[in-house]
Structure 1
Amino acid sequence: MPIPTEPIGSLPRPPELLNGLAELAAGRISQADLDVLTDRATADTIQRLEAAGSPVVTDGEQRKPSFVTYPLDGVPLAADGVVIPFADGHTRQLPRLTGGPFRYGTFAVSYLTKARELATVPVKQAVIAPSALSLLYPADGIDGYPREAFLADLIDQAEQDIRQCLDAGADSVQLDFTEGRLSLKLDPSGGVLREFVQLNNTVLDRFSADERARIGVHTCPGGDQDSAHSLDVDYTGLLPELFTLNVGRVYLQLASEPDPEKVLAVVAEHSRPDQQIFVGVIDPIDPVVETAEQVRDRVLVAARHLPVDRLGTCDDCGFSPFADDTSTSRDLAFAKIQARVAGTELAGQELGA
């Protein structure tokens, strides 16, 4: 079988959709008008992914306000939540939960269903990991809604988010876990990371072994506006804990790592035989399009550490995780994806896959 290759999630939105989002915010168009633009962007995204030869596609998160906040429609929130600093000095701020019970306002299956109507190949669906949403709960608590009750609600909602996608025919469901590496920056002792993994496993343990084979986790140092929030955190502090997550697929940022062989040695030591490892061979932040030969060579390096039948490729991160991130052009993203597909095929031919 060929080496599998998959996108991670977000792709830059076309200018028409970005303009529509601004027009909606200004009250000059209706939500129905924006939905037309979003439908067009989603169709174009899937068409271009298929044209690039991608054997599995996503909707490029054209409908999500961000990879993390999509469930929060109608949830009681304040704006002053956890602040995430990036290396270039810009920040993103999560909202703060102000009341309960916690319920998703939007489930990811709504995106999946629309994408599957348009695609002619399998569709994967990214969902936010419950550990990321646990950051919504304030440190000083909420009167009448203790943290234990919130976490119980969050676990139920996260299970529903994943299960609906599996039941609706997703080829796989990918948990976005960018906060994993970030947690080691906030707490170098690893205590927060262990809490995150335990919370995520509480959700994952509700699924059967066959279902978990279709569930994956993606980790990266955060990519937004051509900057990262935790690339300076040593991967070796994250990976041993990461591979204790009860998932069948692991999507790893690797192309932007300064020492990929060091990382791969740790992956080989700690990953389980039943886990498919998708290594990042495309750096979404780098403005230079990788060649197919560069991608091939990155796969060949990974194949020195991992069995070929457990190896896959992916992009390091999504290209536009927040709706206002325009740092990468749409054409550049698709050119990089085409290089990933072509380079993975070249590697497969050389490895006899």
Structure 2
Amino acid sequence: MPARMTPPFRADHVGSLLRPPELLRARDDFADGRISAERLRSAEDEAIRAVVKMQEDVGLQSATDGEFRRASWHMDYIYRLGGIDPAPEKLKVHFRSESGDLEFMSAALRVHDRVRLDETIFADDFRALRGFVSTNTPKLTIPSPSMVHYRGGPASIDRAVYPDTEEFWRDLSAAYAEEVRRLGELGCTYLQFDDTSLAYLNDPAQRAEIAARGDDAEHMHLRYIKQINAALAGRPEGMTITTHMCRGNFRSSWAAEGGYDFVAEALFGELGVDGFFLEYDDARSGGFEPLRFVPKGKMVVLGLVTTKRGELESKDALKRRIEEASNYVDGDQLCLSPQCGFSSTVEGNALTYDEQVAKLRLIVETAHEVWG
């Protein structure tokens, strides 16, 4: 099979990477007032320059900034949308892991004004990344518009601002569409919408929570697909847009489980992205059967390599799983990646830097042997 010169690539990765200790110290120093914002930015630049080189050295064709300037994969972006602020309340998300349960606490959000794009979010971050790469395609990751709603639900939207919820959805998609357009002007050719909601909704327990807060849990994925498509309607020519879906990734733990069956037909058949990064590292993600709905021309990036622990997967086992997936979607439409980021929040997952690099190198080597 031919190598891919456009994203997603045969060997790819989701986005976030483990923050180095010196960057974590710099963040703490800035939070405590010991260093300036300029000193923190310089520390971030140094760490990102090194991690971009690592991605190029292991043989990847894309490179991200590891999300090193963020505290979390989504809220740093969402709070910069006009009309959205952190709320006084705390959002509690229950996570599970092989070693026990834990809870992720974050400020909730409130939509207090018309949603709009006041600035090109992550513009400076992308410009810096573009300057650091030498051979790789710079990839930017942002949370899907679905995450603005999924995190807060109807209660987070001020009814005095949006008496008609359809206006909220129109404004939200319009803000995202403008962000996509501006990123294209900056030269972004590889953009990823990260969307846990479309994976969470496969879990009956998650749908029960959504229904309990007053949403239509049985059709929520259709609403999200519609709004993402509206955000992508005027995307720039030459920009590849993918989406990544997982069931939670916080300090090597997860929040939901279940195969893609509930959303698969609409998701794969209707969502207007070029490729799907799918979590498939263990039984929680179900089987490959839902991939039968993936149409020709769409890419599927199989997240077979876990980021939740350091043990290295067997190359032969990865090849067998790729072959199994090819029973449901053409093998030429498949790629390989980790199942999620290595550090969706600043804390990171329970593995070392060297284990992270070994997993990325394994992905590159396996993809080369499978696809050439």
Q: Common fold, TM-score beyond 0.5?
A: yes
Which SS does the other structure have where 2:18 is aligned?
Answer: coil
1:77 equivalent in alignment to 2:86: yes
Distance 1:187 1:266, change over 3 A: same
1:40 equivalent in alignment to 2:64: no
1:25 equivalent in alignment to 2:31: yes
Q: Which of 181, 206, 221 is the matching residue for 1:186?
A: 206
Check conservation: 1:94, 1:136, Cα contact below 8 A. no
- Structure 1 counterpart of 2:113, one-letter code: G
Residues 218-241 of structure 1: CA deviation (Å, up to 9, x unaligned): 11111111111112x232113223
Q: Determine the structure 1 residue equivalent to 2:144.
A: 129
Check conservation: 1:43, 1:118, Cα contact below 8 A. yes
Q: Which of 122, 128, 138 is the matching residue for 1:114?
A: 128
Q: Which of 257, 264, 268 is the matching residue for 1:239?
A: 264
CA distance in 1, matches of 2:113, 2:87: 13
Higher strand fraction (1 or 2) = 2
Residues 238-297 of structure 1: CA deviation (Å, up to 9, x unaligned): 32232121111111111223576xx32220x21111211111121101320224444333
Distance 1:29 1:138, change over 3 A: farther
Q: 1:50, CA displacement in angstroms?
A: 0.5
CA distance in 2, matches of 1:143, 1:265: 42
Matches within 5 A, 1:3-14: 4-14=10-20
1:229 equivalent in alignment to 2:255: yes
Runs of 5+ consecutive residues of structure 1 not aligned to the other structure: none
Q: 1:95, CA displacement in angstroms?
A: 2.1
CA distance in 2, matches of 1:288, 1:155: 40
The number of residue pairs the alignment matches comes to 343
Matches within 5 A, 1:112-261: 112-120=126-134, 121-134=136-149, 135-136=151-152, 138-139=154-155, 141-142=157-158, 144-146=160-162, 147-184=165-202, 185-187=205-207, 189-207=217-235, 214-231=240-257, 233-243=258-268, 244-257=270-283
Residues 28-53 of structure 1: CA deviation (Å, up to 9, x unaligned): 11111111110011101100011111
Which SS does the other structure have where 1:234 is aligned?
Answer: coil
Q: Which shifted more, 312-321 or 142-151?
A: 142-151
Distance 1:264 1:203, change over 3 A: same
CA distance in 2, matches of 1:161, 1:205: 12
Q: Which of 307, 312, 332 is the matching residue for 2:335?
A: 312
Distance 1:79 1:291, change over 3 A: farther
1:335 equivalent in alignment to 2:358: yes
Runs of 5+ consecutive residues of structure 2 not aligned to the other structure: 5-9, 209-216
- Structure 1 counterpart of 2:20, one-letter code: P
Distance 1:339 1:224, change over 3 A: same
Q: 1:94, CA displacement in angstroms?
A: 4.9
Q: 1:326, CA displacement in angstroms?
A: 5.0
Check conservation: 1:129, 1:175, Cα contact below 8 A. yes
Which SS does the other structure have where 1:5 is aligned?
Answer: coil
- Structure 1 counterpart of 2:295, one-letter code: R
User: TM-score, normalised on structure 1?
Assistant: 0.88
CA distance in 2, matches of 1:252, 1:299: 13
Q: 1:148, CA displacement in angstroms?
A: 4.0
Q: 1:15, CA displacement in angstroms?
A: 0.3
CA distance in 2, matches of 1:323, 1:107: 19
Check conservation: 1:96, 1:137, Cα contact below 8 A. no
Which SS does the other structure have where 1:277 is aligned?
Answer: strand
Q: Which of 51, 63, 71 is the matching residue for 1:65?
A: 71
Distance 1:242 1:335, change over 3 A: same
Percent identical across equivalent pairs?
A: 21
Which SS does the other structure have where 1:93 is aligned?
Answer: strand
1:298 equivalent in alignment to 2:318: no
Q: Which shifted more, 305-314 or 56-65?
A: 305-314
Residues 135-157 of structure 1: CA deviation (Å, up to 9, x unaligned): 34651642531144433332122
Check conservation: 2:199, 2:245, Cα contact below 8 A. yes
- Structure 1 counterpart of 2:306, one-letter code: D
Check conservation: 1:81, 1:136, Cα contact below 8 A. no
Check conservation: 1:221, 1:228, Cα contact below 8 A. yes
CA RMSD of the aligned region, Å? Answer: 2.4
Distance 1:206 1:94, change over 3 A: farther
